[in-house]
Every structure is written in C-alpha cells, then in structure tokens.
Amino acid sequence: MAKDGNPGFDRRTVLKTAGALGAFFGMGGVVSATPGREPGPKKDEVLVGVSRRASSAEETVEPAVPGNAEIVHENEVLGYVAVEFPSNASEQARENFKQNVLDVDEVEYAEDNATVEAFFTPNDPMYGQQYAPQQVNCEGAWATTLGDSGVTISIIDQGIQYDHPNLEENMDGSVSDYGENFAGAGSDPYPVNEGEDHGTHVGGIAAGGTDNGEGHAGISNCSMLSARALDESGGGSLSDIADAIQWSADQGAEILNMSLGGGGFSDTMNDACEYAYSQGSLLVAAAGNDHGGSVSYPAAYDSVMAVSSLDEGETLSSFTNVGPEIELAAPGGNVLSSVNWDDYDSYSGTSMASPVVAGVAGLALSAHSGLSNDELRSHLQNTAVDIGLSENEQGYGRVDADNAVNTEPDEDPDDPDDPDDPDEETTTVEDSLSGSGDSDCWSYAWEFDSPSEVVIDLSGPTNATFDLYANEGRAWCPTTSDYDHISYNWGSDEQIVIDNPDTSTDLYILVDAWDGSGDYTLTVTERSD
C-alpha cells in the first residue's frame, strides 16, 4: 500500500454561517426518556443521528420510520433519536431501515442501540487502595470469571495464615491443614511468629478473597495451598524447597508460585522444577531484587517463568533483576495484600510481582480449562502487553488478565495471519489552527489492498471544537456544506469510519476550527483483513 502523507492543499479559510451552526446546539438539553421507558438494554432499538444543521432529529427521521416502528426517545443536544421495533420484528427489518434512513438528507448514521457491559468492580473495601489488579486489567477478566476453585495455586514460601478472614475461603480444603510444612517441626504450615508475613502476603496477592466484602481483592478466587518451605527467618534449604515443589506437583496443583531465590544453579532444584513441569504444573518465580542483577534461580531455570517487577506508573522497579530469562513483567512495587494477623500491608519486591502472574494464570486456566502447562505458558506470553521496555526487562510484556481470559488460546493478538487480527497501516500528521473559521485540508493517495475500513481520527485541544470532514474518491477538498463524511459531536476528538472504501481512491480531509484554536493530531488508519 502506498500513500502520500503530504498536504495536498495550502492552508485555507472556509467561510460558514456561524450564527446558524452555533444556534443548533446552543440551547436545549437532554430530553428525558418517554414516560414509562425502562432503563437498561434496548436490543430492539436503532439509534439515528442527524446533522446539527437539521432543525429537529425527530422531524428529520420520522418520515423514514416504518409503520411497525416508532421514535421512543430524542436527545436534542447530541442530535439523535431512538427508533424502536416490535420485539418480534426480524433482524432484517432493522437492517433495511438502517440502510434506507441513510438516504435521508441530514441523517449521519444509523446503528443498533447496543448493550454496553460494565467491567466488574469487586466490593472489597480496600480495593480503592490497590493498583495491581487494575494495572493488569483484572476487571475485564473478572467480568468473565473470578477464578475457578477447581484450579489450585501452591504458594511455596513461608507459612500462610490460612484462617485469615480474607484467605480462609480460598484455601484448598482437600488437603489437611491446607498444605504441608517442610521448614520446621510437624506438618502444619501455619506461620510461627509475628514476622512471618511473606507467605501470607504472597498468597493474598495470588488468591486472596475477591468480591467477598473483606479487605483487599486478590487476583483470583482460585484455590490455594500453603507449602511452607521457608522458616520464620525467611530462609530455606535447597532440599526443603525441592521437596515442596515435588509435593505441590503431586497434589495436582496446576500453578506453583515461588517468590524466593538465591544462589547459583542447583541440580537438585532444577530436577524438582523439571519434575513438576513434567507433571503438568506451571511454575512462576520472582526474578530477584538485586537492582538490575541477573535473574536468580529458580526463576532462571528453563522450566520456570521469570517475572520482573513494575511500579504503579508501569515503569520498571529500581530493585528488580533483569535478563534474557524474563518472560513477563507485573506490578511488584508497593502492593497491598494480607499479612498476619488478620491484617493488611503493602510490600515491594519481585516476590509481589510473581503471584500477580500466578493469579492471572489461574484466571486464564479457569476460563480455558484443559490447557496444558505449555499451552498456558504460551497463552500468557501471547496475551501480554508491550509497555515499551526491553525484552530483558519485560520479556513478552506486562501480564494482562483481560487478554488472557477473554482471548481464545489459539488467537494471537499480534499474529498478522490471524483472521481476527486485521493488518493496520497508519499515517499521522500534526498541525494547528488559529481560531474559528480557520481550517486545513490534507490529501492522501491510497492504494487499498482489500480494506475492511479506513478510520480517520482527530484529536484537538480540550477547550476547542474542531470538526472533521472527508471526501472519498472526489478530487477536491470537502467544505462544510459539500462532503462525503463528517464528524462533529461537540468536542475536540472526532472520528470518521469509512467501511469498505474503493480499492483505489483518494481521500481529502478537512480539519475545521468551529470554536477555539490550538494544535491537533490527525491520524488515518487502514484496517484490512
């Protein structure tokens, strides 16, 4: 595809009757719904928008409304009406109306009154103090699943206070004492003293109770096991940790979180990780907190996903280790979670980033049951978001719960051969307008390659109204009275979408300052299947 991004015309001033245009939306307010009109989804309605030059949206659209439909709502400020069809009307009847009404002068668009779903917001009282679930887009994932209790995450760490009010409901009750103790006397993995908070904090990130009206929100409501391999001092032997890894895999835990590390390569530890991976477990580990040092073991083993840490601003945490072993990045700076005893606190470290990934893995497996650990690992990689860091810092990108849950595992969002992922070509220009009546015209020579749509976006000053016009296949600049496409919605951000344009045509685009002045950005994007 070839395009010429240079302006095709010099700056020009377009004369317009300011009084007539300004009067259209200068008065009036949003008209309330017809009395008795119910709130909520309205799947039988079509929204029809008119030009702001039209004297009335209702009067403009009414002649085109078929006898079995009626106008049930009008918004004078935005210039649209809602046309309701009987619930037994065919979908084709609505489609025919949408096509026919576009032939009416001053009608700009016709579209279904689609239902917009709210993202899920949990009722946990401390959720507003958190940022980690929001940074990895948990709300989009939670609208689909909060996590399946049939998916188990084993926390190989210090002991977990398993009767903590925000953890108890998600502890795996199929195992005595919700886990095993490998770092002290007896089998109970309960914390020994006041300072043994690490395991409780890590477990609360991965699988603290979400939407239970208690404390903070964990990433998932998956089940959790406590494999106490670190003692109250925070240390543990290679053999204790290796035994805890093997035990967790034998319990059938789909995900193992290891917010621990240190020392060099160990055959014993490597064998334990390889064993767990061969049993179908996905292993996730903290990269280490040596301020840019190399990735620690066990995170550096091939069988383990190494996780680096991000701060709230989605910048790399100063303390995180980096290197070619990093697979994903996740929030680890100042993360709020549960601590002993029945309390909450914020800690920082790659120890906090790792259970975020483990929790997202639990959500993904809850939504896509039957994935092998290899497939789950690839899916988390493919759905991660590139946040502009190097591969040694972010790996495949920042883990994303919404993508991981709501993207099918065989879909790669970045694969140009994926039919659900269109190719895109974008051209952007920047300029400024000096005030009302001033305008720019830009021309582009396009050679389309079976496009599905062309999208023209205009972003201007927040305190101004810049209108957007386009001509398709006509070799002259549009004016405010002669154009093929238009977008003016009382704001500086406008968009025109041209569906299935000719395969070879020119675009002429007018940016017009209806009110105010300042810099603007014009972006033209071709999306082709």
For the stretch 301-318, what's the b/e string if a residue is b when 16 or more beta carbons lie within 10 angstroms of its beta carbon?
A: bebbbbbbbbbeebebbe
Non-local CB neighbours of 516 within 8 Å, separated by 6+ positions: 435, 436, 461, 463, 464, 465, 466, 492
Active site residue 351: yes
Alpha carbons 232 and 234: distance in angstroms, whole number: 5
Sign of torsion, CA 458 463 466 467? positive
Classify strands 45-50 and 423-433 as parallel, antiparallel or unpaired. Answer: unpaired
Alpha carbons 285 and 9: distance in angstroms, whole number: 58
> How does DSSP classify residue 471?
E
The token pair at 343 is 């309390």
Say which of 259, 309, 317, 351 is annotated catalytic: 351
Sign of torsion, CA 199 201 206 211? positive
The token pair at 206 is 């991965």
Coil, helix or strand at residue 99 = helix
Q: Identify whether the C-beta of residue 7 lies closer than 8 Å to the C-beta of residue 442.
A: yes
In the block, residue with structure tokens 């096991």: 225
The CA–CA distances, whole Å, from 223 to 125, 154, 218, 327 equal 22, 8, 12, 24
Non-local CB neighbours of 199 within 8 Å, separated by 6+ positions: 155, 157, 158, 159, 160, 191, 226, 228, 230
Active site residue 198: yes
Alpha carbons 126 and 229: distance in angstroms, whole number: 30
Say which of 157, 188, 311, 467 is annotated catalytic: 157
Long-range contacts of 344-347 (CB under 8 A, 24+ apart): 344/126, 344/166, 344/215, 344/216, 345/197, 345/201, 347/197, 347/201
Q: Identify whether the C-beta of residue 396 lies closer than 8 Å to the C-beta of residue 329.
A: no
Which residue intervals of 395-467 are DSSP H helices?
401-406
- Shortest CA distance to 191 belongs to which of 224, 166, 158? 158
Say which of 73, 124, 164, 198 is annotated catalytic: 198
Q: Just list the catalytic residues.
A: 157, 198, 351
